[in-house]
């Protein structure tokens, strides 16, 4: 049992928790939700024993193994598989004792430790580690690659695998789906559903929470409120409470009437039928889920271009891929045919690395079509979102200035009203981007896209870094958007709520997928089972020709050598990020001393504030440099 009794936690002058109570019983699967910055990660640190309550008591389970997913990106030459197996530190200790007893010639101790090894399931550890890594998207060829070979997102996956490898009674996972694709999210959900211990999970993915959690804990207004059931159950229960407030009730009725009016007007018109159906689905769900987010600070719409074309994009017999600096072409999707028409709302599915990003980049013009034909509509206006867009923001400019540069003649008051819908209220609209979190940058990028009035939205993982309220607001805005949508996302709720059809990118092809997300999951499992059979059969025939392995090692070494300068650059930026964060943590600790705010400590306080400003700037610059170098590395890896 984990118990919080009248716990208060203060950071600087701000309380994250104030007289909060919570009891988590053994075996429960808890989803911990709350706005960004509310204190969810601090609560995790208290469970791990790294942070102590200012007042009150946190009672932790005795003799229980707690496993958690590290957030830092570790640099090591250990292989991916060994790194994963390191998660079982007890097994590693046993292995060391086996080797030690054998070296000392102590047969009795050796036999005893071999028994411990069997009890710790040591003989199946390698296969279990490989299963974890494959479930998270790694290939068998990746198992012996050093951790330093992988990009930041893939190293986070390794940290997740390491946490899952540890036999634990309590498992703490902080945003485990952030760097996963849809396939890996589905696999992880199944794994966690079968986890026998106590799970505490921070996530903004509502379908993921729905599929796993037995309870939801809402961190809101410095309190911890426990709701029985999954996320949808939480929404219903909270909605019942909020619906009692008359003002909220009237707002909901007004919104329902607006949606119903649209449905009644257009549901029987062929050219508007799909859009009407989208609103009808929203209307059906609104009674259940709407009020739970009625007090959200986010509410915006995405206007559409005044003119459009019936055919927006058409790819005909096109080869899609990349051209290296030396002019060598690498085709990822060959002889492709794909068309996007006005009003279509398409979700892209497909295994990791199959070419979804290649298709998107070809459509928006980030890369050129290698051969074949690409035709765009005369009035095509694309609004494109990807994580790369976040790095293109001007770090020194404010949200207000970003919009003013697009529309110099628009009144400041109108811009500030618009930005308020994206959560930039009051002075937040005037803050420099360099001090923004990942979620704030994503919200700003979305606001800039909406401001341009596109008729085609191309969105590549738009929900990364967004909290649940902002995801809900984005979902509603996309449902209202009258233009076309092309969406890649691991957020199943967003896919289910905003697209009308799916296309599958797999095996070097693009084709319509006649099915829903559960059907895609079934297709994926069958594909993985088939691939495992093929791999197993090939292994039985011949382990892999030694000459081929030698050549494979030579090519891998050659690739590592080409990418070494980029990786060193990334390592340098990672160290700079860590240094800045360490300084900020020390400053935060110093500023929690209440005596610091007395008159005689004014100079010391001012010095700390100056240092905080300096290191925040250093952190933002280092993170930005790391992101740019990481993008460059991933592009180079794709070319190789």
Can you give the CATH number for the domain in which 203 is found? 3.40.50.300
pLDDT band at 606 (very low <50, low <70, confident <90, very high): confident
Q: Given 468, 501, 523, which residue is the final one in a domain?
A: 523
The answer as to whether 158 is a domain residue is yes
CB contact at 8 A, 84 and 76? no
pLDDT band at 373 (very low <50, low <70, confident <90, very high): very high
- What is the separation, in whole angstroms, between the first and last Cα of the chain? 51
CB contact at 8 A, 242 and 288? no
Top pLDDT among 261 and 457 is at 457
Going by C-alpha positions, the residue among 143, 151, 145, 94 that lies closest to residue 118 is 94
The answer as to whether 88 is a domain residue is yes
> Domain containing 632: what range?
561-590+597-639
Top pLDDT among 604 and 535 is at 604
In Å, how far are 97, 120, 128, 395 from 123, measured between CA atoms? 16, 8, 10, 52
What is the spatial distance between Cα 105 and Cα 109, in angstroms, rounded to a whole number?
Answer: 9
Task: Tell me the mean pLDDT in the region 446-470.
Answer: 92
Q: Given 465, 498, 523, which residue is the final one in a domain?
A: 523
Q: Worst-scoring range by mean pLDDT, 403-412, 526-535, 543-552?
A: 543-552
CB contact at 8 A, 188 and 173? no
396 with 443, same domain? Answer: yes
Would you give the DSSP letter of residue 325?
T
153 with 208, same domain? Answer: no
110 with 210, same domain? Answer: no
At residue 430, does pLDDT exceed 90? yes
The answer as to whether 342 is a domain residue is yes
475 with 369, same domain? Answer: yes
184 with 150, same domain? Answer: no
Domains contained in the chain, number: 5
The answer as to whether 1 is a domain residue is yes
The answer as to whether 108 is a domain residue is yes
At residue 243, does pLDDT exceed 70? no
Q: What is the pLDDT at residue 264?
A: 73
128 with 218, same domain? Answer: no
389 with 492, same domain? Answer: yes
474 with 498, same domain? Answer: yes
Q: Given 523, 546, 573, which residue is the final one in a domain?
A: 523
What would you measure as the largest C-alpha separation in the chain, in angstroms?
Answer: 86
Count CB neighbours of 285 within 10 A: 16
Q: What is the pLDDT of residues 335-372, one digit of tens each?
A: 999 999 999 999 999 988 889 999 999 999 999 999 99
The answer as to whether 34 is a domain residue is yes
279 with 393, same domain? Answer: no
491 with 473, same domain? Answer: yes
Tokens of 68: 């958690």
The answer as to whether 585 is a domain residue is yes
Burial-class residue 246 by CB neighbours within 10 Å (0-12, 13-18, 19+): exposed
363 with 402, same domain? Answer: yes
At residue 222, does pLDDT exceed 60? yes
578 with 629, same domain? Answer: yes
The answer as to whether 486 is a domain residue is yes
pLDDT band at 317 (very low <50, low <70, confident <90, very high): very high
Which helix (H) or strand (E) is 57 found in, with range? strand 55-59
């Amino acid at each position: 049992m984990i118990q919080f009794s009248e716990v208060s936690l203060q950071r600087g002058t701000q309380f994250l928790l104030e007289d909060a109570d919570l009891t988590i019983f053994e075996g429960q699967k808890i989803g911990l939700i709350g706005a960004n910055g509310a204190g969810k990660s601090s609560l995790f640190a208290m469970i791990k024993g790294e942070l102590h309550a200012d007042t009150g008591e946190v009672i932790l389970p005795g003799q229980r193994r707690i496993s958690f997913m590290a957030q830092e990106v570790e640099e090591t030459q250990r292989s991916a598989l060994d790194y994963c197996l390191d998660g079982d530190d007890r097994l590693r200790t046993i292995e060391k004792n086996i080797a030690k007893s054998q070296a000392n010639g102590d047969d009795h101790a050796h036999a005893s430790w071999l028994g411990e090894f069997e009890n710790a399931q040591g003989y199946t550890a390698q296969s279990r580690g490989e299963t974890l890594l494959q479930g998270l998207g790694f290939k068998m060829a990746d198992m012996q690659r050093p951790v330093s070979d992988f990009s930041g997102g893939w190293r986070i996956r390794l940290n997740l695998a390491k946490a899952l490898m540890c036999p634990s009674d309590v498992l703490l996972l902080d945003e485990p789906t952030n760097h996963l694709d849809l396939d890996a999210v589905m696999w992880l959900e199944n794994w966690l559903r079968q986890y026998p211990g106590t799970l505490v999970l921070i996530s903004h993915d509502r379908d993921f929470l729905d599929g796993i959690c037995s309870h939801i804990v809402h961190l809101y207004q410095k309190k911890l409120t426990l709701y029985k059931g999954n996320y949808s159950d939480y929404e219903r229960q909270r909605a019942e409470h909020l619906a009692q407030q008359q003002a909220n009730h009237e707002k909901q009725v007004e919104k329902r009437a607006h949606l119903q009016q649209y449905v009644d007007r257009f549901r029987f018109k062929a050219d508007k039928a799909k859009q009407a159906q989208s609103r009808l689905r929203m209307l059906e769900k609104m009674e259940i889920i709407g009020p739970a987010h009625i007090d959200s600070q986010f509410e915006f719409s995405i206007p559409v271009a005044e003119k459009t074309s019936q055919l927006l994009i058409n790819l005909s017999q096109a080869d899609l891929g990349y051209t290296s600096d030396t002019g060598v072409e690498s085709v990822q999707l060959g002889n492709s045919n794909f068309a996007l028409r006005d009003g279509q709302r398409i979700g892209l599915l497909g295994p990791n690395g199959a070419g979804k990003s290649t298709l998107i980049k070809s459509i928006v013009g980030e890369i050129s079509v290698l051969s074949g034909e690409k035709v765009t509509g005369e009035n095509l206006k694309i609004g494109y979102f990807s994580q790369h867009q976040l790095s293109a923001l001007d770090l020194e400019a404010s949200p207000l200035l970003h919009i003013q540069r697009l529309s110099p003649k628009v009144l400041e008051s109108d811009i500030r009203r618009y930005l308020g819908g994206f959560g930039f209220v009051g002075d937040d609209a005037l803050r420099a981007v360099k001090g923004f979190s990942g979620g704030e940058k994503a919200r700003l990028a979305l606001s800039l896209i909406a401001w341009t009035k596109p008729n085609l939205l191309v969105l590549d993982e738009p929900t990364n870094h967004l909290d649940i309220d902002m995801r809900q607001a984005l979902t509603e805005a996309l449902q209202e958007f009258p233009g076309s949508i092309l969406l890649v996302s691991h957020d199943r709720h967003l896919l289910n709520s905003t697209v009308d059809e799916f296309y599958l990118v797999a095996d070097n092809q693009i084709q319509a997928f006649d099915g829903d997300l559960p059907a895609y999951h079934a297709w994926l499992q069958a594909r993985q089972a088939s691939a495992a059979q093929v791999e197993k059969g090939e292994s039985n025939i011949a382990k892999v020709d030694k000459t081929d392995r030698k050549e494979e090692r030579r090519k891998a070494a050659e690739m590592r050598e080409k990418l070494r300068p980029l990786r060193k650059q990334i390592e340098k930026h990672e160290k700079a990020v860590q240094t800045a964060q360490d300084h900020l943590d020390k400053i935060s600790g110093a500023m929690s001393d209440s005596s610091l705010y007395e008159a005689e400590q004014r100079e010391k306080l001012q010095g700390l504030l100056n240092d905080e400003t300096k290191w925040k700037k250093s952190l933002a610059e280092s993170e930005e440099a790391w992101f740019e170098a990481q993008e460059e590395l991933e592009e180079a890896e794709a070319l190789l």
